[in-house]
Amino acid sequence: MKNYDWFLQQDLSSYGGQWVAIIDNRIIGNGKDVDTLIKQAKKLYPNKIPFITKVNNQLSVF
């Protein structure tokens, strides 16, 4: 959950509309195609499970 908690505290507006992969509280990859991102994350960090999410390109207010 630490990657998720880190994600919630970041300003990722520059990644709007893209998928991001987070490991150890840092973005290790991003892009428009989630399948490519998953492959990249597995190749770079084969023994870790990344937190992968799509960043909204608009501000959401609840």
Block mean pLDDT (10 aa), the chain, length 62: 92 94 97 97 96 84 53
Provide the whole-model pTM.
0.86
**pLDDT score at 57:** 80
Identify residue 12 by its one-letter amino acid code: L
**pLDDT score at 29:** 97
Is beta strand 26-31 parallel, antiparallel or unpaired with respect to 19-23? antiparallel
